[in-house]
Amino acid sequence: MEFLRDTWHLFVRLMRATMRMPVFVIISIVQPILWVLLFGQLFKSVTTIPGFESHAHAPSISYVQFLAPGISIMTALFGAAYSGMGLLGDIDRGVLDRFLTTPVSRGALIAGRILHAAVQVIVQAALILVVACLLGARPLGGVPGILTVFLAAALLGAAFASFSNALALLARRQELVIAVMNFVVLPTTFLSSMIMSRDLMPQWIRGVSRFNPVNWAVTAARAGFQGEATSEAAIYLGLLAAFALICGALATLSFRRYRKAM
Amino acid sequence: MDAIEVEGLRKTYAGGVEAVRGVSFTVHSGEVFALLGPNGAGKSTTVRILTTLSAPTAGQARVAGFDVASQPREVRRRIGYVAQVSGVDVTATGRENLTLQGQLFRLAGAALRGRVEELLDLFQLAAAADRPAATYSGGMRRRLDVTMGLIHRPEVLFLDEPTTGLDPESRAVMWKEVRRLAEGGLTLLLTTHYLEEADQLAQRLAIVDGGRIVAVGTPDELKGRLRGDVVSVELANRGRTAEAEAVLRAQEEVASVMVDGNRLYAQVSHGARAVPALLAALEKAGLDVTQVSLARPSLEDVYLTATGHAYREQGEPAVG
């Protein structure tokens, strides 16, 4: 109970800080829209390659339809990956120490940040789906499908936010958090079916992508958006949840280690 | 009852730095107690252990009746901590900072709102309460830090270097606040590297040097231990301080001599009577004196006697 209440108060603080940065808010809104427009144009012709989404029930799937859930996941990944930077800011400014001398639940200090990342991710995913629909995409999976996109994005966001916070607590250097996350974000993006149909991937990438949490999220989100409730999507959502829990545990352990080292 | 009991406290950081090397002291309830020493003496580390932020390597400490290592939750409920680095969230307003702090202490509703207003008024922050803390002056930010330490009416308040970096005017305001808090019966432990601050505010103080406490007592007790006056002599030739020290020590009136650079401090029972004799002895030995002064013992002299080196303010290394 106290954990939940503390998490909520700390979440509200972070949301408020985000809303007070109008430039940040505008960029987080404009950027995913740009991704949809840019990638939508750039890769438009891939749908004409023979074999693209051959299993999709719609024989002539539009690329925006294909792309929208993928961009939702990509935005979640990019947004959450740098969540640890905020924590480093709190450490440097003595804010974390001040919190630690109060009876606040220790877990809430991390949970509040993860919740903040997850909520931000869902808002962005919603915007992306709206823009995609304006460009001709259709949420064939209805409300459950849209909720599946949100769930996949939120779980992946929570996992990467946790990982980023763990990294921040262990390394305590902004440069290192940026370097590692940059190193992780792009390969995991391209080793997934985010912008390219799985059917057109080289065999080895298809193999690797099976173990890529970003691909789990993309696959589940796309299945939901397309209204194809596959067992594969359900399994991937389960795996994502497990991955998020492991990353959460890693963040908690790192936080304990950080406190011990003080 | 004692508000703080510290016994044989040690802290060795990973990497082998011994920040605290066996510190023991007691702070009585309702007392203002100061840890005085230069930067790096181990004051902040001691405070971090007492506020449960840092685990001691050895030794024990009880705050407000609870053990900091085994009962940290009980301790946290009863203490306020104002860190050396301000803990203000500058993106939030003063009121938001204060309200969140109260919420983390599980205050809520009208009780919390009332307490927030009360503290904002008390610390003259009411007019700026709804502005982001980023717009506050250094003094205002510091006062906001103190209100956050007080939101839950703690039994013990820790103030780590409360006036470092403040202009003289803000420092005077902070001193006034500390005195007012002390009158209210709060136990206060403050650290400072300003001798004057410890002298002005603390009922008792401990001089900390190199991770150890070298003297404890009331400011008057500590000064009283230095009987008589202190004659300070500055030599023209730095290379001959050892000679001069020997000359001074040989004088009957001199109780002790301290050397710091080309300055020598001699403790004598009657300064006015001793000065001519000391100067004559130095002259006879062929030592040129560029400056002589005579002073009643100050806390600075206590510090000098206790640590063996002169007190230097922040920024300069204190070497003996």
Question: In this complex, is the C-beta atom of A190 within 8 Å of any C-beta atom belonging to chain B?
Answer: no
A10-23: average pLDDT = 94
For the ranges A61-65, B109-113, B174-178, the lowest mean pLDDT is seen at: A61-65
- Residue A8 backbone phi and psi in degrees, to 5: -60, -50
Q: Percent of chain B having pLDDT more than 90?
A: 60
Per-residue pLDDT, B85: 85
Tell me the chain A residues in contact with residue B100 when contact means C-beta distances shorter than 8 Å. 9-10, 13
A144-150: average pLDDT = 95
Where does the pLDDT of residue A114 fall: very low under 50, low under 70, confident under 90, or very high at 90 and above?
A: very high
For the ranges A114-128, B170-184, B285-299, the lowest mean pLDDT is seen at: B285-299
- Residue B212 backbone phi and psi in degrees, to 5: -130, 155
Question: In this complex, is the C-beta atom of B11 within 8 Å of any C-beta atom belonging to chain A?
Answer: no
The pLDDT tens digits of the residues spanning A69-102 come to 999 999 999 989 999 999 999 999 999 999 999 9
Say if CB A2 and CB A10 are below 8 A apart: no
Measure the CA–CA gap between A59 and A52, rounded to whole angstroms.
9
Per-residue pLDDT, A229: 73
Tell me the chain A residues in contact with residue B148 when contact means C-beta distances shorter than 8 Å. 98
Is pLDDT at B199 greater than 60 in this prediction? yes
Per-residue pLDDT, B320: 31
Alpha carbon B273 to its chain's center: 35
Per-residue pLDDT, A97: 94
Helix (H, G, I), strand (E, B) or coil at B308: coil
**Most B CBs within 10 Å, among A2, A102, A113, A260, to test the B interface:** A102
Is pLDDT at B258 greater than 50 in this prediction? yes
Measure the CA–CA gap between A74 and A68, rounded to whole angstroms.
10
Say if CB B35 and CB B20 are below 8 A apart: no
Question: In this complex, is the C-beta atom of A19 within 8 Å of any C-beta atom belonging to chain B?
Answer: no
Is pLDDT at A8 greater than 50 in this prediction? yes
Question: In this complex, is the C-beta atom of A249 within 8 Å of any C-beta atom belonging to chain B?
Answer: no
**Residue linked to tokens 């009360």:** B118
Measure the CA–CA gap between A220 and A231, rounded to whole angstroms.
10
Measure the CA–CA gap between A153 and A125, rounded to whole angstroms.
7
A128 vs B85: which has the higher pLDDT: A128
Is pLDDT at B34 greater than 60 in this prediction? yes
B90-115: average pLDDT = 96
Measure the CA–CA gap between B138 and B140, rounded to whole angstroms.
6
Q: Per residue in A112-137, is it b (16+ CB within 10 Å) or e — as a string?
A: bbbbbbbbbbbbbbebbbebbeebeb
Question: In this complex, is the C-beta atom of B284 within 8 Å of any C-beta atom belonging to chain A?
Answer: no
Where does the pLDDT of residue B94 fall: very low under 50, low under 70, confident under 90, or very high at 90 and above?
A: very high
Handedness of CA B57, B60, B63, B66 (dihedral sign): positive
**Contact criterion met (CB < 8 Å) for B76 and A261:** no
**Contact criterion met (CB < 8 Å) for A101 and B53:** yes
In chain B, positions 106-165, which contact chain A (CB-CB < 8 Å)? 106, 132, 148
Amino acid code (one letter) for A215: N
Is pLDDT at B225 greater than 80 in this prediction? no
Per-residue pLDDT, B303: 79
Beta bridge partners of B204: B33
* Residue-wise DSSP of B196-235: HHHHHH-SEEEEEETTEEEEEE-HHHHHHTS-SEEEEEEE
Which structure tokens are listed for B85?
A: 């680095």
Per-residue pLDDT, A55: 47
Q: Which of B47, B58, B69, B37 is nearest to B208 (CA)?
A: B37
The pLDDT tens digits of the residues spanning B166-179 come to 888 888 988 998 99
Helix (H, G, I), strand (E, B) or coil at B73: helix
Nearest-CA distance A69 → chain B (Å): 34
Where does the pLDDT of residue A128 fall: very low under 50, low under 70, confident under 90, or very high at 90 and above?
A: very high
Per-residue pLDDT, A40: 83
Q: Which helix (H) or strand (E) holds B260?
A: strand B254-260
B52-78: average pLDDT = 95
Q: Is the ipTM of this complex over 0.85?
A: yes
Q: Which of B185, B188, B136 is nearest to B162 (CA)?
A: B188
Q: Percent of chain A having pLDDT more than 90?
A: 65
Per-residue pLDDT, A94: 93
B227 vs A65: which has the higher pLDDT: A65
Question: In this complex, is the C-beta atom of A261 within 8 Å of any C-beta atom belonging to chain B?
Answer: yes
Tell me the chain A residues in contact with residue B54 when contact means C-beta distances shorter than 8 Å. 262
Give me the torsion for CA of A84, A184, A77, A256, rounded to 10°: -30
Is pLDDT at A57 greater than 60 in this prediction? no
**Contact criterion met (CB < 8 Å) for B92 and A95:** no
The pLDDT tens digits of the residues spanning B293-315 come to 887 777 777 777 777 777 665 44
Is pLDDT at A173 greater than 80 in this prediction? yes
Handedness of CA A199, A202, A208, A214 (dihedral sign): negative
Give me the torsion for CA of B117, B123, B129, B135, rounded to 10°: -170
Backbone torsion region of residue A21, taken as left when φ is above 0, otherwise alpha when ψ lies between -120 and 50, otherwise beta: beta
Per-residue pLDDT, A53: 63
The crossing angle, in degrees rounded to 10, of helices A213-226 and A142-171 is 160
Per-residue pLDDT, A163: 96
Q: Percent of chain B having pLDDT more than 70?
A: 96
Per-residue pLDDT, B230: 84
Per-residue pLDDT, B313: 52
Is pLDDT at B275 greater than 70 in this prediction? yes
Neighbours of A246 (CB within 10 A): 14
For the ranges A56-60, A61-65, A201-205, the lowest mean pLDDT is seen at: A56-60
Question: In this complex, is the C-beta atom of A100 within 8 Å of any C-beta atom belonging to chain B?
Answer: yes
Is pLDDT at A60 greater than 60 in this prediction? no
Tell me the chain A residues in contact with residue B112 when contact means C-beta distances shorter than 8 Å. none
Query: Chain-wide mean pLDDT for chain B?
Result: 89
Which structure tokens are listed for A125?
A: 């995913």
**Contact criterion met (CB < 8 Å) for B89 and A6:** no
Measure the CA–CA gap between A93 and B140, rounded to whole angstroms.
16
Per-residue pLDDT, B304: 77
Say if CB B152 and CB B72 are below 8 A apart: no
Of B73, B86, B148, the CB nearest to A103: B73
Say if CB A40 and CB A64 are below 8 A apart: yes
The pLDDT tens digits of the residues spanning A199-248 come to 888 889 888 888 999 999 999 999 999 988 778 889 999 999 999 999 99
Beta carbons within 8 Å of B29's beta carbon, 6+ residues apart: B1, B2, B3, B155, B187
The crossing angle, in degrees rounded to 10, of helices B109-122 and B138-150 is 140
Q: Per residue in A188-204, is it b (16+ CB within 10 Å) or e — as a string?
A: bbebbbbbbbbebbeee
Question: In this complex, is the C-beta atom of B14 within 8 Å of any C-beta atom belonging to chain A?
Answer: yes
**Contact criterion met (CB < 8 Å) for B101 and A98:** yes
